[in-house]
Amino acid sequence: MPVAMPLFEDDRGKLSFGETGAQLPFPPQRYFIVYEAEPDAVRGAHAHRSCSQFLIAVAGRVVVTTDDGADRLEHVLDRPDLGLHIPAGVWADQRYSDRAARLLVLASEAYDPAEYISDYDEFLQFKGLGQ
């Protein structure tokens, strides 16, 4: 699910981009930026029933753990030209290198608390993997 984004560089600086239907798997209906996160805090720790997300560490390093109920993967996001697509139905959390790290999340849906799953047992039920 990591996606290498196009990068243009010249003597004025760098530019990386993504377009819907090309690198971006959906048209974003929402963005959010997480910043000044405490380095020992775990953020996220939930899944989405229907919302897909695309994550980019715009500054610093963010370590993302994804868990589809069967496999747990760790992704290191440490450059603006690296995206991570997290489809709906995947549990994820994030850890920040320091307070200067800044994570951009593009989301396929507007905010709806009802489509969050914040209980891991409920997540396994949702995946058809519950007891």
Query: For a copy of itself, how many residues bind (rule: CB under 8 A)?
Result: 38
Please name the helix (run of DSSP H) or strand (run of DSSP E) that holds residue 94, with its range, or none: strand 91-96
89 binds a copy of itself (CB under 8 A): no
> Which one, of 59, 72, 47, 64, lies nearest residue 127 by Cα?
47
- Residues 21-60: x/- map of binding to a copy of itself (CB under 8 A)? x--x--xxxxxxxxxxxx--x-x------------x-xx-
Q: Which is nearer to a copy of itself, 97 or 125 (CB)?
A: 97
Tokens 């753990």 -> residue: 65
- Residues 109-128: x/- map of binding to a copy of itself (CB under 8 A)? -xx-----------------
Burial 86-113 (b: 16+ CB within 10 A, else e): beebbbbebbbbeeebbbbbbbbbeeee
Binding residues for a copy of itself, rule: CB under 8 A, are 11-21, 24, 27-38, 41, 43, 56, 58-59, 80, 96, 99-100, 102, 104, 106, 110-111
